[in-house]
């Protein structure tokens, strides 16, 4: 059985944004995702939206720019080893409990809720807030 890894938004932002400090490390993870079996690496639909919002802010683009949005989504869709799972109403309910239990903001709690629902044991992220959770953080 393959250990499931949840990929946090920052990995994709560092990769797509060419982050000076973390870009190469993020690229290494992206290469692992490209080689992985589908389902080994997962993220949520929330991640896709967050990537677009963050990159739009960093590049002074906006979400009305079809070329920008389609380019980012195209880059992400080429990651064959990545499964994107939807958010559910139950994830929001669970996130409230996780916010309180692990002292997380809503976004991190939503990502954690999805990761736990999907039985991930690892979160790929440089966000140390996840060190307080049951997931093992790697970056």
Q: What is the pLDDT of residues 80-101, one digit of tens each?
A: 999 999 999 999 999 999 999 9
At 68 the pLDDT is 97
Residue-level pLDDT at 18: 94
Show the domains of the chain with their CATH numbers: 5-123 (3.40.50.1010)
Residue 86: what pLDDT? Answer: 97
Give me the residues of the chain with pLDDT under 50, please.
none
- Cβ 137 vs Cβ 123: under 8 Å: yes
pLDDT of the residue at 19: 95
pTM of the model: 0.94
pLDDT digit string, tens, across residues 104-119: 999 999 999 999 999 9
pLDDT of res. 2: 82
Q: Residue 39's pLDDT is what?
A: 84
How much is the pLDDT for 64? 96
pLDDT at 38: 83
């Amino acid at each position: 059985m393959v250990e499931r890894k949840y990929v946090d938004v920052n990995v994709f932002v560092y990769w797509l944004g060419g982050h000076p400090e973390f870009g190469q490390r993020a690229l290494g993870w992206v290469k692992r995702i490209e080689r992985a079996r589908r389902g080994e690496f997962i993220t949520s639909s929330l991640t896709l939206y967050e990537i677009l919002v963050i990159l739009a802010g960093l590049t002074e683009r906006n979400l009305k720019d079809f070329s920008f949005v389609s380019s980012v989504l195209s880059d992400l869709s080429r990651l064959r080893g990545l499964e994107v799972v939807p958010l559910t109403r139950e994830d929001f309910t669970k996130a409230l409990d996780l916010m309180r239990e692990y002292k997380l903001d809503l976004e991190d709690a939503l990502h954690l809720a999805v990761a736990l629902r999907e039985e991930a044991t690892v979160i790929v992220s440089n966000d140390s807030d996840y060190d307080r959770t049951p997931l093992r953080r790697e970056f």
